[in-house]
């Protein structure tokens, strides 16, 4: 079934650069290098969230949406590489990633059903790029229960929908600093809720790091 699905997806979305349509690349090197990032940060409730790119930019939106809705994991790896590039502009996070010995990178999980549908968690793949590049440990041990998608819900409803959705299944996080990774931040409700759970598990500090906002 997966193979048939892949075949159909390949027909619908052939391997071509998202930007210039050059064959054999999801995003060719020249186009990748031309992508302008817009590193920024914002506080959402109790969590500070750094983001590398502007979701309103056409190529950024296309990258995120094609990755998720056409289920192309390679595009999540590209987002991860761009995030590594964007992180160079954030002294605070760069210092943690380079020097912190008690750091843990934690991706925002998908629910089990969503993971089955998509076949991969884009946030995990983005987090893996960071983990590999900076040689920092990653723990994919946050679990998410089934909820309605956050997209399509407004403000308070997003908060209510995500409340209680996460469970930390790893060891006690006493004294550890956490970089919580997601693909896109909108209202910050997801990151704030996950951060709350990690702090309850003992984390000393939780910072959000996302590809786009």
- Least gap, CB of 17 to Zn ion (angstroms): 3
Complex with Zn ion: residue 31 or 115, whichever CB lies closer: 31
- Least gap, CB of 79 to Zn ion (angstroms): 16
Complex with Zn ion: residue 22 or 68, whichever CB lies closer: 22
User: Are 2 and 119 a contacting pair, CB within 8 Å?
Assistant: yes
What does the binding site for Zn ion look like in residue numbers (CB under 5 A)?
17, 19-20, 22, 28, 31
Helical pair 73-87 and 122-134, crossing angle rounded to 10 deg: 50
Give the DSSP H or E segment for 136.
none
Complex with Zn ion: residue 24 or 146, whichever CB lies closer: 24
Nearest partner of 64 among 158, 167, 185, judged by Cα: 185
- Least gap, CB of 28 to Zn ion (angstroms): 3
- Least gap, CB of 30 to Zn ion (angstroms): 6
Q: Helix/strand/coil (H, E, C) string of 37-90?
A: CCCEEEEECCEEEEEEECCCCHHHHHHHHHHHHCCCHHHHHHHHHHHHHHHCCC
Q: Name residue, tokens 């968690």.
A: 121
Complex with Zn ion: residue 59 or 141, whichever CB lies closer: 59
Complex with Zn ion: residue 31 or 84, whichever CB lies closer: 31
In angstroms, the Cα distances linking 19 to 15, 16, 23, 53 are 12, 8, 11, 16
Query: What would the two tokens of residue 126 be?
Result: 């983005």
- Least gap, CB of 76 to Zn ion (angstroms): 18
């Amino acid at each position: 079934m997966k193979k048939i699905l892949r075949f159909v997806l390949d027909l619908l979305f052939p391997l071509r650069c998202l930007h210039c349509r050059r064959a054999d690349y999801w995003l060719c090197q020249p186009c990748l290098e031309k992508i302008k990032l817009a590193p920024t940060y914002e506080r959402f409730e109790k969590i500070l969230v750094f983001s590398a790119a502007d979701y309103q930019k056409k190529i950024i939106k296309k990258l995120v949406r094609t990755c998720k809705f056409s289920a192309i994991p390679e595009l999540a790896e590209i987002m991860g590489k761009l995030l590594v590039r964007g992180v160079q502009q954030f002294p605070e996070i760069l210092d943690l990633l380079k020097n912190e010995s008690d750091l843990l990178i934690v991706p925002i999980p998908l629910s089990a059903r969503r993971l089955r549908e998509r076949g991969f968690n884009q946030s995990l793949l983005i987090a893996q790029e960071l983990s590999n590049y900076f040689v920092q440990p990653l723990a994919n041990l946050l679990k998410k229960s089934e909820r309605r998608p956050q997209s399509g819900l407004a403000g308070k409803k997003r908060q209510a929908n995500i409340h209680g959705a996460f469970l930390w299944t790893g060891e006690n996080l006493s004294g550890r600093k956490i970089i919580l990774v997601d693909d896109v931040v909108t209202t910050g409700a997801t990151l704030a809720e996950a951060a709350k759970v990690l702090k309850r598990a003992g984390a000393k500090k939780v910072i959000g790091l996302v590809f786009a906002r």
